[in-house]
Amino acid sequence: MLKTIGLGIWATIVALAAGYMAATWNTGATVDVVRAESKPSGLETRHPSAITVPMISEGKLSGYVVAKVGFTADAQALASSPIDPQPFVVDEAFRHIYTDGKVEFDHLSKYNLDTITAAIKDAVNKRLGTELIKDVLVEELNYVDREQLDKQTAQK
């Protein structure tokens, strides 16, 4: 009986000591992680949300362009920038698709995406006053015809 009580006390002391050591022991790994995160390097890619751009031709709504663009930028410049460039990229993509007369999605043809992405990049960098954006990426570009959309809505 005395051995059982002694074994119980010993097990309790070992468990308390192990819990205390686990709670207070610092490996230093968290310091390294914080240091690594505080100084990012290389290019970073961001993915703003998709935009829906109404396409108007001859005074009527002809359909919608659904576009998703991403961009790359220097990670250190992004971290030190006081302004988040994502809203500017989305705004410039919307403006370019909406106002550019060359992009007529109801008349399908190939477009020079390099010209479109370069124009978006240059406009954003000009608005921000720095060469923050390195490249604009087209992740998704779809056209939804209004007549097809109306038919699908009427069927439901």
pLDDT digits (tens, 9 = 90+) for 74-133: 988 888 888 899 999 999 999 988 887 555 555 555 667 888 899 999 999 999 999 999
Q: Where are the alpha helices (DSSP H) in 39-142?
A: 75-80, 86-99, 113-128
Dist. CA 79–CA 132, nearest whole Å: 11
pLDDT digits (tens, 9 = 90+) for 45-57: 999 999 998 888 7
Let me know: does 69 contact 48? Beta carbons within 8 Å: yes
Tell me if the pTM is above 0.75. no
Q: Which two tokens stand for residue 1?
A: 């009986």
